[in-house]
Structure 1
């Protein structure tokens, strides 16, 4: 089964090692950044959400208008708008993009960040609301007759949308989280469940928990996405030299005015334990050692308080490709990768990393298909005539 690659675009150039300069929204950069992902053979790009960020639905519409094939994974917080309104937003965008939209559901792990948009529910309440919210969104996308709903968080009567998604039966739903509540709700709704890059053993445990939740909900197992920050070099030594330089630059930029972390400083910091389980898990992995498995490096997560996907895969393209294949071997279907030099790293991933992974996955798929053909049973009609297969 082909692996899906997801990148990430933003409205101006910046990262943990490169402080943003210029306008918050640079249309030319958005256009170029989306196109370089398309040229690099990414399947989709994530457009994140925060209380301080530009509206990501409009960013997706603009970027989609300037690309032809690239898909857009739009992060969305349930509760920011009414669910039927969100359903119309995304169904409309799906039409204008030619069916290239997916939605990434982020229920929200930080109370402080949620309150910036006026949301004062507890974390458990947010997950319960998300569950109800997605039931309504799915109904709005698929119902051909008016429907009503009366629940704990939402009440509506006789809703019928005139616009439904291009993609049928509905727009793909990705779902992020690492708590038991996330597994429960994501298991009910996710087409793809998204995790941050932990060591292989811990990732396998999370995959098992997600699959069990889906089975309890009577749904097929979702795809699994895992996120990494690859640091490539032409040799192992040069890759590690670059990784340590990135770590030094990140530490220097943490407290700087205009830092990428400034809007999250009170919610995520090395001095204050994060509230969300995903970040807690990354910090726990970092506490047990800097290097895990083939190439997973955790000091960048430790330095930033695991504010977002922050574990690196370090090495030559061949080493990092094999590390990604290790995750594919335990059930990962989607890989989200982004760099510390966002634009240039995207170019390098497209030239050096993505082709290696795609070629090996395709080779394995061909081998499995050949094996299935080789052991195929003799058709009943031939067996009845005494035919043999050599």
Structure 2
């Protein structure tokens, strides 16, 4: 602790907001049962759990087989007072002027809580299910034009016409306006095209796959440089993790490896149950390919773990774990806040139970540290006291859990 520098890094974000994905039924990745239904009471309870736990946003995801994200976001908004729905939207299935109208309506209904996350598409097979045959670079070019039209639809005071590469219309507007300001637009991805479009046009830049602190700092610098060259402010940085917390390091690592074993088995069984070749659902997204390369080493920095990525082969959603006691994982999140992250997405594998635990035990620790910094102008002791892998006892606990998991992983 004597070597710990209490100086707040110049890159550190002074505040952070937390995101967690909404779940629409009791299905879990660690116990996959093919379910197509939406359980209304579960959506209500899950959304209120997030709000009561101190989460600021909930991501409303979109897949070709999922509930429709606008409708689900409206339901979330109706059963909460503060929680902000982040609508995942693929430009290929909703015209930008219609999307602007829907988003503004949601923003009015929720009194300014709407956010949109644009998904250009990381899996060609999934895109083709809804008729999108554009290659990846063309998808990002379409997203670029889409963003311009969203903002114009929200702000133009008079009718306007447009003829672009992907969209053409005459004398639209004025459009239906958001509640009190343009709606924040988020873009994610790690391809060159994603960096160019997201950095120069988005309000948030999202990282879904996880990366080491060293790489994260480089990535943030890259975004900032592109934004500056475009004459835009640097977007907010949004990072995503799958925390596994428990009262002791031993319990946390046993839980993490248990989840990983179940994910490995479950992801294959679920794909087969749906009649899909497991190998075919591996994402072509650059971020997921990067995550699979990280999985070769697995452990990074304080508590970052890519065992979930190795277990699933990079299939499915975000899989970068943070493993340890609540204090260790909070310290790891603070490391990313120190690098510049101001939006942090966390979602557990035990869905509702993990959301409750994160709200009770994890979010308050991060917020307490940020309050300490605001009051004193210095970093507190949390990061100095909870070292993660640098503590031999923690590393030994991880090693023992790996041995117990054995061939299962």
Distance 1:153 1:347, change over 3 A: same
- Are 2:36 and 1:27 aligned? no
Among candidates 49, 52, 61, match of residue 62 of structure 2: 49
**Deviation (angstroms), 1:88:** 0.3
Give, in whole Å, the separation in 1 of the partners of 2:33 and 2:253: 25
**Please, what TM-score do these two structures have when normalized by structure 2?**
0.86
Give, in whole Å, the separation in 1 of the partners of 2:274 and 2:331: 31
**Deviation (angstroms), 1:188:** 2.1
| Counterparts of residues 342-381 of structure 1 (less than 5 Å) | 342-368=351-377
Q: C-alpha offsets along residues 170-201 of structure 1, whole Å, 9 cap, x if unaligned?
A: 00111111111101000122111100321111
Q: C-alpha offsets along residues 91-150 of structure 1, whole Å, 9 cap, x if unaligned?
A: 011111111110011111111111011000010000111101111111001111111111
**Deviation (angstroms), 1:32:** 0.4
| Counterparts of residues 22-101 of structure 1 (less than 5 Å) | 24-101=37-114
| Counterparts of residues 1-390 of structure 1 (less than 5 Å) | 1-20=14-33, 24-168=37-181, 170-196=182-208, 197-257=210-270, 265=278, 267-269=280-282, 274-287=283-296, 289-306=297-314, 307-368=316-377
SS in 1 for 2:31: coil
**Deviation (angstroms), 1:22:** 5.8
**Deviation (angstroms), 1:10:** 2.1
Give, in whole Å, the separation in 2 of the partners of 1:331 and 1:143: 33
**Deviation (angstroms), 1:267:** 4.3
Q: CA RMSD in A?
A: 1.9
Distance 1:260 1:148, change over 3 A: farther
Asked if structure 2 preserves the Cα contact closer than 8 Å seen for 1:231 and 1:314, the reply is: yes
List runs of 5+ in structure 1 lacking aligned partners.
Answer: 370-390
Give, in whole Å, the separation in 2 of the partners of 1:6 and 1:100: 13
Give, in whole Å, the separation in 2 of the partners of 1:264 and 1:105: 27
Give, in whole Å, the separation in 2 of the partners of 1:80 and 1:340: 29
**Please, what TM-score do these two structures have when normalized by structure 1?**
0.90
Point out the structure with max Rg over C-alpha: 1
Asked if structure 2 preserves the Cα contact closer than 8 Å seen for 1:225 and 1:335, the reply is: yes
Give, in whole Å, the separation in 2 of the partners of 1:265 and 1:156: 42
SS in 1 for 2:269: coil
Give, in whole Å, the separation in 2 of the partners of 1:342 and 1:304: 18
**Deviation (angstroms), 1:266:** 5.5
Asked if structure 2 preserves the Cα contact closer than 8 Å seen for 1:215 and 1:221, the reply is: yes
Q: C-alpha offsets along residues 258-277 of structure 1, whole Å, 9 cap, x if unaligned?
A: 789977946434xxxx3110
Give, in whole Å, the separation in 2 of the partners of 1:340 and 1:167: 36
Give, in whole Å, the separation in 2 of the partners of 1:203 and 1:259: 35
**Deviation (angstroms), 1:84:** 0.4
Distance 1:143 1:259, change over 3 A: farther
List runs of 5+ in structure 2 lacking aligned partners.
Answer: 1-13, 379-409
**Deviation (angstroms), 1:366:** 2.4
**Deviation (angstroms), 1:345:** 0.4
Asked if structure 1 preserves the Cα contact closer than 8 Å seen for 2:271 and 2:278, the reply is: no
Give, in whole Å, the separation in 1 of the partners of 2:144 and 2:179: 24
**Deviation (angstroms), 1:160:** 0.5
Distance 1:120 1:180, change over 3 A: same
